Homo-oligomer: A and B are copies of this chain.
Amino acid sequence: MASSPPSADAPRESPGERPAPASERAKDALLTIPRGVAQVDFQPSVWTGLLFIVALFVGGWQFGAFALLGVVTATVTAHLLGVDRDRISMGLEGFNGTLIGVALVLYLGADWSTVPLVIGGAVAGSVLTAAMNAVLTPYDLPTFTAPFCVVALVMAIGAPSYARVWAGHTNTAPPSATDPGTAMTWTDFWHGFFNGVGQVFFQDTWYVGLIFLVGLAVSSPLAAGAAAVSSLIGLLTGWWLGAQAADLGAGLYGYNAVLTGIALTGTFLVLSPAGAVYAVIGAATAAGLTAGLTNLFNVVGGHTLTWPFVLVTWVFLAAVPIFSRIRRPA
């Protein structure tokens, strides 16, 4: 079912191939970590991952440190459970853990008590990744950041019931709570443009977003271009609908558009004029969906996370077989 998962007793390396020396394998294991961070934005590049880690530390030591805790835990869990080595090596088992680390330190505080929660969350995220892959593979859909979204959502909803967990929680009201109004200033606009890229990792400082954009460009100029255009689409969609200006400036309408735009531009779809229009519609839809999901999750103390991107991109990719004008790579 799940695209021929590796049989447990099959040899892991083809017979004629000589196993890599230990030093080589240690180096590859180490490089898995930055690749896991880079895969949040669909890039398998070590350099992109290193720049993303730099961006996180610039945003705050706690984001960098807990991101590393998350990516390492998730990757090690996948290894211990026997996930296919290629998936691990490409960083595909690390990116949900990365985001779990960043989200939990943001919502629950940089306390020691957050450490076991990140570890537990990353382990749960690894199991969820495997389960979702089994369910989604028949439809040729990846999990995207859904495992992270599920883990962070249920932990955020449950946290207030647990005295030890809730002790260090931080206020996470959107900027518009203290600064309401729908008139977008020039500062809102250009900050919002960069923050749309940075908010994928919960960062709301413009130059952190810029480092992420540079990191993307190192791996794929096309992805960086799609991210920039999509951040703009998200910003303009939110502005046109009449969203709060402070939230637009914080990039809250941009990051889901950014991820959707990268995913639908050359990454999971064949590039074509019709495909580009399709990607624009997808990015705008993800931005427009943001407020609905935010209101929905607010009721129970959850957060929007990257749910709009996950849901919209699943729908737009699942639809492709019905549309003769749009194609997925073979």
Give the most central of A123, A130, A241: most B CB within 10 Å: A241
Kindly state whether residue A31 has any CB partner on chain B within 8 Å.
no
Selected contact of A158 from candidates B132, B156, B289, CB within 8 Å: B289
Kindly state whether residue A60 has any CB partner on chain B within 8 Å.
no
* Known contacts A2-B321, A133-B322, A155-B292; 14 further A-B pairs (Cβ under 8 A): A8-B324, A81-B322, A81-B325, A82-B324, A123-B281, A124-B285, A127-B315, A131-B316, A153-B292, A157-B292, A158-B292, A158-B293, A161-B295, A162-B291
Q: Helix, strand, loop or mixed for chain A's interface?
A: helix
Residue of B nearest to A87 (CB): B322
Report B-chain residues with C-beta under 8 Å of the C-beta of A127: 281, 285, 315-316, 319
Chain A residues close to B by CB (< 8 Å): 1-2, 5-8, 80-84, 120, 123-124, 127-135, 138-140, 153-167, 182, 240-244, 274, 278, 281, 284-285, 288-296, 299-301, 314-327
Q: How far is the CB of A205 from chain B (nearest CB, A)?
A: 24
Q: How far is the CB of A174 from chain B (nearest CB, A)?
A: 10
CA distance A134 to B317 in the complex (A): 10
CA distance A138 to B139 in the complex (A): 10
CA distance A153 to B289 in the complex (A): 11
Given contacts A123-B281, A242-B162, A244-B161, contact A323 B130 (CB under 8 A): yes
CA distance A76 to B120 in the complex (A): 44
Copies of the chain in the assembly: 3
Report B-chain residues with C-beta under 8 Å of the C-beta of A241: 162-165
Selected contact of A161 from candidates B134, B291, B300, CB within 8 Å: B291
Report B-chain residues with C-beta under 8 Å of the C-beta of A167: 242
Q: Can you sample 15 A-B contacts with CB below 8 Å?
A: A5-B324, A6-B324, A8-B324, A82-B325, A129-B319, A130-B319, A130-B322, A131-B318, A135-B318, A154-B292, A155-B292, A158-B289, A158-B294, A159-B291, A162-B291
CA distance A141 to B2 in the complex (A): 14
Q: How far is the CB of A189 from chain B (nearest CB, A)?
A: 17
Selected contact of A322 from candidates B83, B289, B324, CB within 8 Å: B83
Q: How far is the CB of A324 from chain B (nearest CB, A)?
A: 3
CA distance A322 to B130 in the complex (A): 6
Contact B157 A319 (CB under 8 A): no
Q: How far is the CB of A287 from chain B (nearest CB, A)?
A: 11
Contact B131 A293 (CB under 8 A): no
Contact B135 A243 (CB under 8 A): no
Report B-chain residues with C-beta under 8 Å of the C-beta of A318: 130-132, 134-135
Report B-chain residues with C-beta under 8 Å of the C-beta of A162: 241-243, 291
Residue of B nearest to A176 (CB): B161
Report B-chain residues with C-beta under 8 Å of the C-beta of A81: 274, 278, 322-326
